[in-house]
Structure 1
Amino acid sequence: MPAESPVPFTTTLHVRDHCLCLHMQRAARALARLFDEALRPLGLTNQQFSLLMSLNRPEPPPIGPVASLLGMDRTTLTAALKPLERRGLVAISPGDKDRRSRLLAITPEGLALLAEAVPIWQRTHDTVDARLTEIEPAKLRQALIAVS
């Protein structure tokens, strides 16, 4: 028989029912699986889609701002870029002013794949929005931005 826990089981139930972090993680994992499945025919994950989308801008950004936008550290972003770079979807080059910095650019192949992915993302996103009957999706996004 296990020793009596100094944390009562009622506390476990309270945390299960009230922990924002737990519920955010569960929701994030469920959404990630949904978008991963939708984007799978293109050979993309939802993380890769977000990464490619973050590079869809007029000028190639340095790693730091992209990592910040995606809520990643630079090392994780660098690892996430490698498969996209191998596929020819992203190009990494030295900075113009500081050769130690790295600029990230989406390639024409990456843009073409992103153009194919956007309608899939939109349909999947519309499905998720339709499920949100208790809260307006815009209000949920605002709340998530406030937390992040």
Structure 2
Amino acid sequence: MKANSSVATCNCFAIRQAARFVSQLYERHYAKAGVTAAQFSLLAFIAEAGKVGMSEIAEAMVMDRTTLVRALKPLERDGYVVSEPEGKGSRKLLLALSEQGKTKLAETVECWHAAQAEYVELVGAKRADELRQMLLAIPAGATA
């Protein structure tokens, strides 16, 4: 870094530091349900989508397919996520939650509520909402 640069002015440093802090907070709550924050995000996204393809998940989660496949493996292994061909003869697989996955998501949502409440308590409801909106706008603006 140049003499007039520091981690205090680095956007990446600040975002990654905050992301680690928030991830640790949420991970502590999700551990009670036996899932990680990444797994919860995948379960929730797939549940909202109904049936969804890998490329749609990867794009929405801003993940490369290899990372997504690794993240999905334990969810498929544990029977929470199932896949089926999009149609007869199609090579494209659609992912959906199994009944077991829906049950696990419902259990984990309680942990999510507790994590959300703790986070809002730390940063304030208005700041939490504003920050979330700003962060969600970053990848949306980058792809527009």
Asked whether the 8 Å contact 2:29–2:114 carries over to 1, the reply is no
2:19 to 14, 18, 28: 28
TM-score normalised according to structure 1 size: 0.85
Higher relative contact order (CA 8 A, sep 6+): 2
2:7 to 6, 10, 16: 16
Change (3 A) 1:21 1:134: farther
TM-score normalised according to structure 2 size: 0.87
Higher Rg of the two aligned structures: 1
Q: CA deviation at 1:51?
A: 0.3
Q: CA deviation at 1:74?
A: 1.5
Q: CA deviation at 1:115?
A: 0.4
Q: Which whole-Å CA distance do the structure 1 matches of 2:57 and 2:125 have between them?
A: 33
Q: CA deviation at 1:128?
A: 0.6
Q: Mark the runs of 5 or more structure 2 residues left unpaired by the alignment.
A: 140-144
- The residue number in structure 2 matching 1:128 is 119
Number of aligned residue pairs: 139
Change (3 A) 1:143 1:86: same
- The residue number in structure 1 matching 2:38 is 47
Q: Which whole-Å CA distance do the structure 2 matches of 1:70 and 1:90 have between them?
A: 17
Q: Mark the runs of 5 or more structure 1 residues left unpaired by the alignment.
A: 1-6
Change (3 A) 1:107 1:136: same
Give the stretch that moved more between structures: 21-30 or 130-139: 130-139
1:108 and 2:99 aligned? yes
